Amino acid sequence: MLYYYIIDRKDILRITICIRVLKVKKMSKTFEKLQPYLDKAMAMETALSLFEWDDQTAAPFEAAGYTSRVVGIISDEYMKCLINDDVKKLLGKLQEEKEQEELTDKEKAIVKKLAKKYEQLERIPPEEFKAFNELTIVAGRAWAKAKKDKDFGHFAPYLKKIIEYKKKFAGYRVKKGQQLYDVLLSDYEECFGIKDLDEFFEKIKKEIVPLLKQVAGKADTIDKSYNYLTYDVEKQKKFCRYLSGYLGFDFNRGVIAESAHPFTLNLHNHDVRITNKFKENNLESAIFSIIHETGHALYELNIDDSLTQTMVGTGTSMGMHESQSRLFENVIGRSEAFWIPIYAKLVELYPENMKNVSLEQYIRGINKSEPGLIRTEADELSYPLHIIIRYEVEKAIFSGEVDVEDLPGLWNRKYKEYLGITPTNDADGILQDIHWSFGEFGYFPSYAIGSAISSQIFARMKEVMPVDEYLKEGNITPIREFLRDNIHKYGATKNTNQILKDVTGEEFNADYYINYLKDKFSRLYGL
């Protein structure tokens, strides 16, 4: 017997929805076979991150030599679970057009990321990969001792070995027409190579250096002597914790510790860790370090749950990552609007030092441009020159123009050339950054790219919301939500230029950064 039913438009709609639900893609069988390898690799990566965290925050000094063996074994296992014939076959199949059609957007992004990772690691002999990871553990400790003793000679042998490995690893991957340094840059920001950075930095030098010289003549018009008084470190810790929470750091999913060099580390979006460093005679140092690192942390905390603990469950690039930290640290964190609701808390914490410092003086002080030796304490205007110096030194290293022993001299000459000052010791010069002890060559340009991107994003943000009014009200939520919905939640499923195009309507444009700096410092110094 046949039954006929009369159905209306609503019924049709419901049926259509049901059909669509039924058509939702299940995980492809090929990707399903790949998943255990990805899960194991992620577990290994998490373990290595934990060792890195422990090494920088809590591990005893003499542990490094022994811990390095453990790290070496885990890194070897990590390589084995990703670089093998089974994964190679599965990856090759997943890159075929037919298989691509069966993948979700998330799976496609993971396959793309894995393909890049496979290319990075496949050509590296496992024993070299293991040895390199062991080396970075002991090199980190050597760097810390060398910095403490202000003696580059102690770190030089370790750095020489690290550079040799990085040259070798880049050489395994370099393509025709590519430079070794191009390969390293692509590990941190795939949208920018040497050609792009040369153009960007030349523009910075042309537009910003003359402004810096103008400002230098008026540096004495801003008094920030209050910054170098004595500030109790325990009170600094209390205020920095408050600041991080004020910006939106979730202490149920994150922790703050101390280290020789502030950094952010994520295990997944429910375990994001940041560190800070405190100086008794520099109030600003810890304040803006914690704002910077909280910017990084918010990115990782806001990555969508469906992406975390996958290859695309982190920030898309270091350039985009640094844009978030520099946005909070400088564009927002050094604005008057940001401090209006919270400045009284800082004064209340240090009444003896701050009671006679008006909000206006404080804002002028935290924005004062004055060439200094230390990158992490540099003002916004001189900061890109610190990055240009490192970029040019790294280019010289990987083009074979300079030997390790000659690096302090090259470093000091460039500081004299660009900033008019010369380091008096290695700790304030060639040893001030920890990055090279990890082999992170190619990372530094990300800071300048990030600064530029932050200006571009902020310009768009101001078009769609009253940012200053929100800040004056102490309402960070709309800003955080804008960044989460437009950038953070996508993890590494989009590259930098894709995100910029979606958010701002155009790809990377350094003019926003240059205009931001010119406008800000011209007003600050009455130029």
Domain ends where: 120, 144, 162?
162
Domain ends where: 162, 177, 206?
162
Instruction: List CB contacts of 92: < 8 A, sequence separation 6 or more.
Output: none
Cβ count within 10 A of residue 457:
24
Measured CA to CA, the distance from residue 423 to residue 411 in angstroms comes to 9
3-state secondary structure of 511: helix
Mark whether 206 and 150 lie in a shared domain.
Answer: no
Mark whether 376 and 511 lie in a shared domain.
Answer: yes
pLDDT at 25: 54
Annotated catalytic residues are: 293
Greatest mean pLDDT range, 64-68, 370-374, 511-515 = 511-515
- Residue 383 inside a domain? The answer is yes
- Residue 179 inside a domain? The answer is no
pLDDT at 468: 97
Long-range contacts of 404-408 (CB under 8 A, 24+ apart): 404/156, 404/159, 404/160, 404/163, 405/156, 407/152, 407/159, 408/152
Mark whether 136 and 223 lie in a shared domain.
Answer: no
Measured CA to CA, the distance from residue 62 to residue 65 in angstroms comes to 7
Handedness of CA 247, 249, 251, 254 (dihedral sign): negative
| Token output for 209 | 């250096």
Q: Which residues pair with 271 in a beta bridge?
A: 268
E strand or H helix at 431: none
Mean pLDDT value across the chain:
93
Mark whether 129 and 213 lie in a shared domain.
Answer: no
Closest C-alpha among 483, 490, 507 to residue 192 = 507
pLDDT for 512 beyond 70: yes
Task: Tell me which amino acid residue 472 is.
Answer: K
Quote the percentage of the chain above a pLDDT of 70.
95
> For residue 469, what are the domain limits?
194-524
pLDDT digits (tens, 9 = 90+) for 20-76: 433 445 678 999 999 999 999 999 999 999 999 998 899 998 898 899 899 999 999
Mark whether 198 and 335 lie in a shared domain.
Answer: yes
3-state secondary structure of 31: helix
Mark whether 417 and 502 lie in a shared domain.
Answer: yes
Task: Tell me which amino acid residue 489 is.
Answer: K
Q: Are 314 and 49 a contacting pair, CB within 8 Å?
A: no
pLDDT at 462: 97
DSSP characters for 207-268? Answer: HHHHHHHHHHTTGGGS--GGGGS---HHHHHHHHHHHHHHHT--TTSEEEEE-SS--EEEEE
Task: Tell me which amino acid residue 406 is.
Answer: D
Closest C-alpha among 328, 359, 369, 329 to residue 524 = 369
- Look at phi and psi of residue 83 and say left if phi exceeds 0, alpha if psi is from -120 to 50, else beta: beta
| Token output for 437 | 């002890």
Mark whether 276 and 386 lie in a shared domain.
Answer: yes
- Residue 70 inside a domain? The answer is yes
* CA 222 to chain centroid: 31
Q: Are 488 and 303 a contacting pair, CB within 8 Å?
A: yes
- Residue 304 inside a domain? The answer is yes
pLDDT at 26: 66
- Residue 3 inside a domain? The answer is no
Lowest mean pLDDT among 19-33, 119-133, 216-230, 485-499: 19-33
pLDDT at 325: 97
Q: Are 315 and 301 a contacting pair, CB within 8 Å?
A: no
* 358 burial level (CB within 10 Å; 0-12, 13-18, 19+): exposed
Closest C-alpha among 64, 30, 238, 237 to residue 138 = 64
Mark whether 442 and 308 lie in a shared domain.
Answer: yes
Mark whether 103 and 233 lie in a shared domain.
Answer: no
Count CA atoms closer than 13 A to 467's CA, side-chain side. 21
pLDDT digits (tens, 9 = 90+) for 159-208: 999 999 999 999 999 998 899 999 999 999 988 999 999 999 999 999 99
Distances (CA, A) of 344 to 141, 249, 347, 358: 40, 21, 5, 10
For the segment 332-360, the average pLDDT, to the nearest whole number, is: 97
Q: Which residues pair with 274 in a beta bridge?
A: 256, 264
Mark whether 468 and 346 lie in a shared domain.
Answer: yes
Mark whether 209 and 319 lie in a shared domain.
Answer: yes
DSSP characters for 151-188? Answer: -HHHHHHHHHHHHHHHHHHHHHHPPTT--HHHHHHHTT
Measured CA to CA, the distance from residue 42 to residue 23 in angstroms comes to 30
Tell me the backbone φ, ψ of residue 274, rounded to 5 degrees.
-125, 155
- Residue 175 inside a domain? The answer is no
- For 78-98, letters b (16+ CB in 10 Å) and e give bbbbbbeeebeebbebbeeee
pLDDT digits (tens, 9 = 90+) for 268-309: 999 999 999 999 999 999 999 999 999 999 999 999 999 999
**Number of folded domains that form the chain:** 2
pLDDT for 19 beyond 80: no
Q: Are 158 and 139 a contacting pair, CB within 8 Å?
A: yes
Global confidence as pTM:
0.90
For the segment 115-119, the average pLDDT, to the nearest whole number, is: 93
Mark whether 358 and 221 lie in a shared domain.
Answer: yes
- Residue 286 inside a domain? The answer is yes
State the CATH number of the domain containing residue 321: 1.10.1370.30
pLDDT for 316 beyond 50: yes
pLDDT for 15 beyond 90: no
pLDDT for 361 beyond 50: yes
- Residue 425 inside a domain? The answer is yes
pLDDT at 489: 98
Domain ends where: 115, 138, 162?
162
pLDDT at 6: 37
pLDDT at 22: 37
- For 306-338, letters b (16+ CB in 10 Å) and e give ebbbbbbbbbbbbbbbbbbbbbbbbbbbbbbbb
